[in-house]
Amino acid sequence: MTERPRPPFTVGVEAGPDAVRLRLAGDLDFDTSDLLVERAQACLAADPGPRDLVLDCSGLRLCDSMGVAGLLQIHRGTTSRGVALHLENPPAFLRRILDITGTARLFVLDGAGRRTEQEEGTPPAPSG
Amino acid sequence: MSSSGKVVRLAEGGSPLMAPLKETIDTRTQQDPASGAGLWGQAPYAVLVVDTAGTVVDLNPAAEALLGGALRGAPLTETGPAWLARAHQEAAGPARPTDVDDDPAGPRRAAFQGRIGARSFEAQPAPGRDGGTVWWLADVTDRQLAEDELAAERTRTTFLAEASNVLLASLNTDRCMRVTAQLASRHLAEAAVVIGPAVGRKLPLAYAVEGRAAVCGTVTADPEEVPGLSEALQGFPPVPSRWIDPASLPAWLLPEDFTGTVGSAVVTPLPGHGVPAGVLVLLRGTGAAGFDESEEVFARLFASRAGAALSAARLYAEQSDITRTLMRDLLPPELNRVHGVEFAGGYRPSADRDRVGGDFYDVHPGSTPDDASLAVLGDVCGKGLDAAVLTGKIRNTLQALTPMAGDHEQMLRLLNGALLNSHHTRFATLVLASVRREENRVRLRLTSAGHPAPLVIRNDGRVEEIETRGTLVGALPHIEAGTVETDLLPGETCLLYTDGVTEARGGPLGDELFGEERLMRALAECGGMPGAAVVERVQVLASQWLHDGRHDDMALVAITAPLTTHLSAVDGHTRGRYTA
Amino acid sequence: MSTHTLAAPGMRGLQDRLWSAVTDRDEHAAASVVLTALDDGVDAESVLLDVIAPVQARVGTEWAANRLSVAQEHAASAIAERVIAALAHHPAVRTAPRLGRVTVACVDQEWHVLPARLLAEVLTLRGWRVDFLGAQVPTPHLIGHLHSNGADVVALSSSIPTRLPTAHAAITACQAVGVPVLAGGAAFGPDGRHARRLGADAWEPDARSAARRIADGIAVPAAGRQQIDDLPHLGDQEYTLVVRSRPQLVREVLAQLETRFPASAAYTEEQREHTAQDIAHVVDYLGVALYMDDDELFTDFLAWTAGILEARRVPAASLRPVLDVLGAELKDFPRTTRLLGRARTVLDAFPATAGPTTGAFG
């Protein structure tokens, strides 16, 4: 059985004064969705928490149903805290699965997203 | 196995027993070949002198003690040990190539061996006076025993290794019992019986008689009838194997093709390491020797291997029974024709080892032919047993909700409410299809809850996507869903599928998705095909597309308006004609 | 496990009637042909092997000759399946098992289920207790089944030669749990030589002889054999390397075909995909020929493909550049190079048809 090589799934965290941006790269699936949920929840749990949580999806390669479940879990967290959840640069496959599952309306879908300074590995603590 | 180590060292040293013997023979016979008795008379070895005619002319006291004085003056052939007489004839004959005095190989030349009484001797000839022969007899009983033991040890080690290979190869309990009985009958006894822990009131047994194939069976009997059996079967700590009076053996314990009378019997528990594995009963006929201590030790070694294999097999059997029972309700059902509508399903779970997964389908027949049947196909996120358990919950809930199937959206809301869980957002997507035959067409009401749209293969070759949309269930407090109606003409098929089909990754270039377009193209060739053939066609294509790649669960349901009268009419005809 | 026809006079008529029912997709008529024959006292085994099997064989031939569509072929198989199921319920057919237990399965990826199904029915008729596991049985399922239920023998069916490595894994796995394997099906060669090569305990050309062989008893295999013991040449890794690089090879051949034949650059996406699939097939057969170290597996496939291409008015010579590119890509592999050389010879000798060489498949 040949298994195709899979790039590792990574979540880069950039904390700004009002918004926390998570940059997603790789496959969001059964094996990786928990990692994203943990990261996002850590960001939301910070005090004071962000006003916007932005998931930059331009580096996503795949999102399966477990990936969607992860996004819904994050959505629960943002809803209960009154945080807006943005999906930035969603690739076509992500838009498609959100459309089919009837969940696109839950997210603020940003087309060509604004680019902020990229600081990889910044701890998920808001600086404001 | 320290004894074998000792023996090996002994053998490597090159017969230390024989070296001084030869030296003695050579020096003494050369010193005074004529004087004879004077020198060898006090030798620690038995020595006898045999003349050319084969008559024993002299013996030393050691030989006399060993063979008796009556031998003196008598022909060796008549009164001596037969093997020594033969040796003498041979030694007195033409010289053998090995029978050379200055053989540099040393003492191991022209030695003859045999038993006198209970002991083993090696006889070494030396030329005596007047062409006679002086026979020196060395007691080699201990060496012989050591060598025999070594050979036996080697056979046993080989046997144990082979037994382990054969026993561990299979996790099938019957087979393990048969193999155990067979091996034991071949190497440990004349017949062997393996008795397993009781199943209800029945004891499973495997019988084997040396040289025949083992057979399995069960017997309704009280384990108390055989000493040691009930303890062993209840999993008490292994007790040493014990002798039992052959006369007390119940008739059911004897293999049918064991013809003789049992002379000796040993019961050895099969240690199961926490799980009772059973017992091994070894039987020998009256003609054979009983079991000696070393054989019992060996039987225990074998029993421990057989016990380990049997308990592993039994654990596996129990586990797979449990899994099978749990999975029975989780596996997709076989679909048939219901109320004049043809249903066909196909399912391929993701990992080859998980036979259940997150995809499911069901058809709930309408209570009368005029009532709609409800077909459901769905996909739970996740995989393996976790997903399967959620799948089971959804299927049960939907079954309970079938009376509400007139309003799909309401049904989905109730299902959503039943699945909502504060801990996780594992959701399901599904399609509901209410299906009713009206005249020769099939009326469909289709509702998607976050699921890929159903496809309809029309008779003119078009493949139509049914535009129903809705929200997934189980993760959000509020859901929406829209129902779409359509009709199937005879020969037309509506296909429900999960995204495992379209997301199969592979193809000639290795990393492409099968995709909806390819699926639609494939379906365009399926016009007028029976539903089962459509399902199979898509499965074949997706599986060829995957080549050997990993894939998600794949499920398909085809709903077809039949072209002709169905075989159920034929079944009816058969029953009608033959059971009336 | 193809079955041969006993051309008893009545059988021909039954075959013809079943053929027209099946090609008309008339399930009812098909079932009635079979059940009426049983009612008339025709032996159930004959109905299976001398009526249903030849009709199915004819479906295959007609499809290969492009006289039946894929849809018709699938429909015919689906009808055959149901007819066999109906036959099994006929009172004249029910048999209580009195012999041992046999597991009948197709190797993984094998969808051609009918020969195995027929054997399963024949064995049931002859008094065996049969576990029929169906099409494409993953080897772990097969072994799990043997552990749980035991079997005196496994009858393993495969029709596609490219599944021989999978069949080999299944054969050794069954033998490792102490169950002998009888192999059958076109994949193992008309003389069964591939079955022998893969260490199968028995091979038979058809269902009747397979049932006889199973009744004669097949000895339990010796434990501890591994795949490489049967095929020591696998140690050179050529098979593994070629099969692993299948996608890259297909991509490379496709790219080079486009530079050599500008016409192919204008292909539609669908045409390109068909070409890619054909190339992938060539690589698959190259792979299995390397696995078995059997040149004919590859050359036979090419000759067959060339024949099909010619029948569809594509010159066989269009296969030549595929072999050339593969030869250049895999020039460091001695066995592969030898195979490709043989294949070129076979192809060059193929009767050429008129018309210009377009250089790729249609």
Separation of alpha carbons C107 and C169, rounded Å: 10
The number of angstroms, rounded, from the C-alpha of B403 to the middle of its chain's C-alpha atoms is 49
Q: Is the complex ipTM higher than 0.95?
A: no
The pTM (predicted TM-score) of the whole model is 0.76
Is C74 an interface residue toward B (CB < 8 Å)? yes
Do the beta carbons of residue B532 and residue C78 sit within 8 Å?
yes
Supply the mean pLDDT for chain B: 81
Terminal CA-to-CA distance of chain C, rounded, Å?
33
The number of angstroms, rounded, from the C-alpha of C352 to the middle of its chain's C-alpha atoms is 29
pLDDT greater than 60 at residue A126: no
Angle at B565 between CA B559 and CA B567, to 5 degrees: 85
Minimum-distance CB partner of A102 among B425, B471, B547:
B471
Looking at residue A37, its amino acid is V
Condensed to tens digits (0 to 9), the pLDDT of residues C200-254 reads: 999 999 999 999 999 999 988 876 677 888 898 998 899 999 999 999 999 999 9
CB-CB under 8 Å, B476 with A72: yes
Confidence (pLDDT) at B25? 44
pLDDT band at B238 (very low <50, low <70, confident <90, very high): low
Is B425 an interface residue toward A (CB < 8 Å)? yes
Confidence (pLDDT) at A76? 94
Of all helices (H) and strands (E), which one includes residue B113? strand B112-116
Condensed to tens digits (0 to 9), the pLDDT of residues A20-29 reads: 999 999 999 8
Angle at C135 between CA C131 and CA C136, to 5 degrees: 115
pLDDT greater than 90 at residue A38: yes
List Cα–Cα distances, B186 to B106, B159, B189, B410, in angstroms: 41, 10, 7, 71
Looking at residue A22, its amino acid is L
CB-CB under 8 Å, A101 with B450: yes
Burial of B52 (0-12, 13-18, 19+ CB in 10 A): exposed
pLDDT greater than 50 at residue B16: no
pLDDT band at B240 (very low <50, low <70, confident <90, very high): low
Condensed to tens digits (0 to 9), the pLDDT of residues B254-305 reads: 888 888 888 888 888 888 777 778 889 999 888 877 778 778 888 888 988 8
Average pLDDT over residues A83-94: 94
B295-299, B341-345, C358-362: the lowest-pLDDT one: C358-362
Separation of alpha carbons C268 and C264, rounded Å: 9
- Provide the 3-class DSSP secondary structure of residue C54: helix
Of all helices (H) and strands (E), which one includes residue B243? strand B242-244
pLDDT greater than 80 at residue B237: no
Condensed to tens digits (0 to 9), the pLDDT of residues B518-540 reads: 999 999 989 888 899 999 999 98
Nearest chain C residue (CA) to B314 = C148
Average pLDDT over residues B235-241: 61
Confidence (pLDDT) at B118? 83
Chain B (149-188) residues lying within 8 Å, Cβ to Cβ, of chain C: 165-166, 169-172, 174-175, 179
pLDDT greater than 50 at residue B2: no
Do the beta carbons of residue C45 and residue C120 sit within 8 Å?
no
Burial of B548 (0-12, 13-18, 19+ CB in 10 A): middle
Is C95 an interface residue toward B (CB < 8 Å)? no
- Provide the 3-class DSSP secondary structure of residue B281: strand
Which residues fall within 8 angstroms of residue B125, CB to CB, at 6 or more apart? B87, B88, B91, B110, B112, B133, B134, B135, B136
**Neighbouring subunits of C (3+ Cβ pairs under 8 A):** B
Is B39 an interface residue toward C (CB < 8 Å)? no
Separation of alpha carbons A86 and A56, rounded Å: 8
Do the beta carbons of residue B362 and residue B398 sit within 8 Å?
yes
* φ and ψ of A21, to 5 deg: -115, 125
The number of angstroms, rounded, from the C-alpha of A13 to the middle of its chain's C-alpha atoms is 10
Unique residue bearing structure tokens 């398909």:
B556
Average pLDDT over residues C87-112: 89
B58-62, B493-497, B566-570, C94-98: the lowest-pLDDT one: B566-570
CB-CB under 8 Å, B565 with C140: no
- Chain C positions touching B508 (Cβ under 8 A) are 247, 250, 273, 276-277, 279-280
Separation of alpha carbons C317 and C350, rounded Å: 8
Confidence (pLDDT) at B45? 84
**Neighbouring subunits of B (3+ Cβ pairs under 8 A):** A, C
Long-range contacts of A95-101 (CB under 8 A, 24+ apart): A97/A63, A97/A64, A97/A65, A97/A67, A97/A68, A98/A68, A100/B429, A100/B450, A100/B451, A100/B452, A100/B469, A101/A65, A101/A68, A101/B427, A101/B429, A101/B450, A101/B471, A101/B472
CB-CB under 8 Å, A2 with B475: no
Burial of C274 (0-12, 13-18, 19+ CB in 10 A): middle
Residues forming a β-bridge with B556: B346, B497
CB-CB under 8 Å, C147 with B316: yes
For the record, the structure tokens of C256 come out as 């080079």
Phi-psi region of C319 (alpha: psi -120 to 50; beta: other; left: phi over 0): alpha
DSSP B309-339: HHHHHHHHHHHHHHHHHHHHTTSPPPP-EET
Of all helices (H) and strands (E), which one includes residue C181? strand C181-184
Residues forming a β-bridge with A54: A21, A86
Separation of alpha carbons B567 and C32, rounded Å: 9
- Provide the 3-class DSSP secondary structure of residue B510: coil
Condensed to tens digits (0 to 9), the pLDDT of residues B300-339 reads: 889 888 988 898 888 888 888 887 787 777 778 889 899 9
- Provide the 3-class DSSP secondary structure of residue B562: coil
The 10 Å Cβ neighbour count of residue B569 is 14
Domains within chain A, CATH numbers bracketed: 10-110 (3.30.750.24)
**Neighbouring subunits of A (3+ Cβ pairs under 8 A):** B
Domains within chain B, CATH numbers bracketed: 18-139 (3.30.450.20), 170-325 (3.30.450.40), 337-569 (3.60.40.10)
Condensed to tens digits (0 to 9), the pLDDT of residues C326-349 reads: 999 999 999 999 999 999 998 888
Condensed to tens digits (0 to 9), the pLDDT of residues C175-186 reads: 988 899 999 999
The 10 Å Cβ neighbour count of residue B525 is 17
Q: How many CA atoms lie within 13 A of C30 on its CB side?
A: 31
Cis before residue B240, ω within 30 degrees of 0? Answer: no
B89-103, B121-135, B179-193, C80-94: the lowest-pLDDT one: B89-103
Chain C (280-309) residues lying within 8 Å, Cβ to Cβ, of chain B: 280
Is B511 an interface residue toward A (CB < 8 Å)? yes
For the record, the structure tokens of C345 come out as 């010879």
pLDDT band at B38 (very low <50, low <70, confident <90, very high): low
CA-wise closest residue to C122 among C219, C18, C47, C41: C47
Confidence (pLDDT) at C310? 79
List Cα–Cα distances, B424 to B149, B176, B389, B471, B565, in angstroms: 68, 45, 14, 17, 48
Minimum-distance CB partner of A73 among B424, B479, B503:
B424
For the record, the structure tokens of B27 come out as 């020096």
pLDDT band at A2 (very low <50, low <70, confident <90, very high): very low
Residue B342 C-alpha, separation from nearest chain A C-alpha, in angstroms: 28
Terminal CA-to-CA distance of chain B, rounded, Å?
75
Per DSSP, C217 falls in state: -
pLDDT greater than 70 at residue C16: yes
pLDDT band at B354 (very low <50, low <70, confident <90, very high): low
pLDDT band at C9 (very low <50, low <70, confident <90, very high): low
Do the beta carbons of residue C289 and residue C298 sit within 8 Å?
yes
Nearest chain C residue (CA) to B320 = C148
Cα torsion C298, C300, C306, C308: sign = negative
Cα torsion C258, C263, C269, C275: sign = negative
Separation of alpha carbons C182 and C213, rounded Å: 9
Rounded to 10 degrees, the C-alpha dihedral C238/C242/C244/C247 comes to: 170
Average pLDDT over residues B405-421: 94
Separation of alpha carbons B164 and B303, rounded Å: 11
pLDDT band at A5 (very low <50, low <70, confident <90, very high): low
The 10 Å Cβ neighbour count of residue C295 is 17
Chain C (210-249) residues lying within 8 Å, Cβ to Cβ, of chain B: 223-224, 246-248
Minimum-distance CB partner of B567 among C27, C141, C247:
C27
Confidence (pLDDT) at A26? 93
Nearest chain B residue (CA) to C175 = B169
Of all helices (H) and strands (E), which one includes residue B487? strand B483-488
pLDDT greater than 60 at residue C4: no
pLDDT greater than 80 at residue B106: no
Is A80 an interface residue toward B (CB < 8 Å)? no
* φ and ψ of B505, to 5 deg: -105, 130
DSSP B97-108: TT--TT-TT-S-
Per DSSP, C222 falls in state: P
Q: β-pairing, B202-209 with B133-139?
A: unpaired
Cα torsion B522, B526, B527, B531: sign = negative
A69-78, B60-69, B483-492, C290-299: the lowest-pLDDT one: B60-69
Is A1 an interface residue toward B (CB < 8 Å)? yes
Condensed to tens digits (0 to 9), the pLDDT of residues B140-176 reads: 888 888 888 888 888 888 888 888 888 888 888 888 9
pLDDT band at B241 (very low <50, low <70, confident <90, very high): low
CB-CB under 8 Å, B521 with C270: yes
CB-CB under 8 Å, A30 with B383: yes
Confidence (pLDDT) at B415? 96
Confidence (pLDDT) at C77? 87
DSSP C65-83: TTSS-HHHHHHHHHHHHHH
- Chain A positions touching B470 (Cβ under 8 A) are 102
Q: Which value, in Å, is the radius of gyration of the alpha carbons in chain C?
A: 22
Of residues C94 and B252, more confidently modeled: B252
For the record, the structure tokens of C105 come out as 């399965």
- Chain B positions touching C255 (Cβ under 8 A) are none
pLDDT greater than 80 at residue C274: yes
Helices (H), A82-128: 92-101
CB-CB under 8 Å, B508 with C273: yes
Confidence (pLDDT) at A114? 38
* φ and ψ of B276, to 5 deg: -60, 125
pLDDT greater than 70 at residue B22: no
Residue C78 C-alpha, separation from nearest chain B C-alpha, in angstroms: 6
